[in-house]
Structure formats: structure tokens, C-alpha cells
């Protein structure tokens, strides 16, 4: 082909052509230059960026994960997507370097407000189910019948704003002040009985927090 397709006699490889010594008809046909049929057979692993640099052929776009890995670490010659990404070697606590909503999926708008790293609750296998642990000394396990929104009433929920009546935090009244009925408590004030479990209400054995009747 190059006897004629040399850029002088007839159209030849342009300046942005993939660097190759192969003959034109290895990839092109006499029907047209495009589409071209390129075979990656014989391409040495790890040398993808020799061509996939954004000049000769499609390379990493501006929103690509920041990495120095070769294309074929995650992609295949069949297509860019789906990509097979391995989190091996990613330092714990650095998730948001990529998972920031721009480079890769990050926290949605309704995610609980937190400064914790993704991997404090999530795993590299999937976002859900998330493994959240209440580390606060004020948290008491109320059992499975209590939903998150029972305490975290703000939207989105905040790890630092779980008290519906923060004036009485961290005592029982911090959440249960609105359940208080003075007539049933000898007309005593909420403040004087703010620590319910320390006065009349016992968590065990008479009462359970999951039993709303106390």
C-alpha cells in the first residue's frame, strides 16, 4: 500500500496516526480508511499509553481516576467499559481521593452528614450493606424496632445532631421529652426526671426500650 499511500502520490498516514510499521491493509480496507480493524495481538502488556495518549488514540479523559497504572490493568481490548478496578494497594482512609462525586461515585445528597472515610462503613465489594457502628458513649441499643429516623430526625441525618431535644442531652429526655406527660409523673418537671431510667423506668427486667408502653 505504501508504494502509493505515502503522502505524496496518495493519502498516507497523518501526523496523529498510531505509530506502527504495519502495512495499511493490516487495519484498513480498499473501501475506506474508516472504520479501521485494529488487532491488539502482539501489543506488549503495560504499553497501552504508547498509543492511548489522547493524540494517537483515545486516552484518559479529564475525569479519569488519578492513576499511573497502565490501561490494561483495568480495561480490556474489547472496550473501555466495564472496567475491572482493584482496590488492592489503596491506602485506608483515602477513598475520597477518587470517590468525590467527580472522578468516581461519592456520597449522595441524602447521605448522613459525616467526616468519616468511606471505608469506615463500606467495603470495596459494594456500597451496601453498610456496616455502621455507633461509637458514641451516649448511644444505647434500643433494638431492631427503632429506625434511624427515630433519633436522627434531620435530613440528611447528622452524626452530631441526633437529639430531638438537645437541651436534655445526653439523658433519656434528650429524645423522650415530647413523650413526657406531667400528669402521669405527679406533675414533676421534665428537667427533674430527665434521666428516666435512673428514676422509675428500668430497662430490665420490667421494661424494654423496644416496648413503647414502658
Q: What's the pLDDT tens digit per position in 69-127? A: 899 999 998 888 888 888 888 899 999 988 988 888 888 888 888 888 999 999 988 88
Q: How many percent of the chain have pLDDT more than 90?
A: 18
d(CA 162, CA 174): 9
Per the CB < 8 A criterion, the answer to whether 73 and 119 are in contact is: no
Closest CA relative to residue 175, chosen from 142, 132, 129, 133? 142
What pLDDT band is residue 141 in, cutting at 50, 70 and 90?
low
Residue 49 backbone dihedrals phi, psi, to 5 degrees:
-65, -5
Q: Is the pLDDT of residue 206 over 50?
A: no
Name the residue ranges covered by the structural domains of the chain: 148-198
Q: What is the pLDDT of residue 198?
A: 54
Which residues touch 14 (CB under 8 Å, ≥6 apart)? none
Amino acid at each position: 500500500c505504501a508504494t502509493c499511500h505515502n503522502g505524496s502520490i496518495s493519502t498516507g498516514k497523518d501526523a496523529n496516526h498510531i505509530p506502527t510499521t504495519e502495512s495499511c491493509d493490516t487495519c484498513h480496507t480498499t473501501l475506506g480508511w474508516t472504520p479501521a480493524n485494529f488487532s491488539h495481538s502482539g501489543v506488549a502488556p503495560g504499553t497501552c499509553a504508547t498509543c492511548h495518549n489522547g493524540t494517537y488514540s483515545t486516552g484518559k479523559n479529564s475525569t479519569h481516576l488519578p492513576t499511573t497504572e497502565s490501561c490494561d490493568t483495568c480495561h480490556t481490548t474489547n472496550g473501555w467499559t466495564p472496567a475491572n478496578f482493584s482496590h488492592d494497594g489503596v491506602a485506608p482512609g483515602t477513598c475520597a481521593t477518587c470517590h468525590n462525586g467527580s472522578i468516581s461515585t461519592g456520597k449522595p445528597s441524602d447521605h448522613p452528614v459525616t467526616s468519616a472515610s468511606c471505608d469506615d462503613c463500606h467495603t470495596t465489594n459494594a456500597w451496601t450493606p453498610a456496616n455502621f457502628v455507633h461509637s458514641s458513649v451516649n448511644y444505647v441499643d434500643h433494638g431492631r424496632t427503632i429506625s434511624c429516623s427515630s433519633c436522627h430526625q434531620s435530613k440528611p441525618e447528622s452524626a452530631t445532631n441526633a437529639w430531638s431535644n438537645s437541651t436534655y442531652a445526653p439523658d433519656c429526655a434528650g429524645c423522650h421529652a415530647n413523650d413526657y406527660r406531667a400528669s402521669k409523673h405527679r406533675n414533676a418537671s421534665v428537667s427533674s426526671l430527665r434521666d428516666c431510667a435512673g428514676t422509675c423506668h428500668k430497662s430490665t427486667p420490667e421494661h424494654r426500650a423496644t416496648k413503647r408502653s414502658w
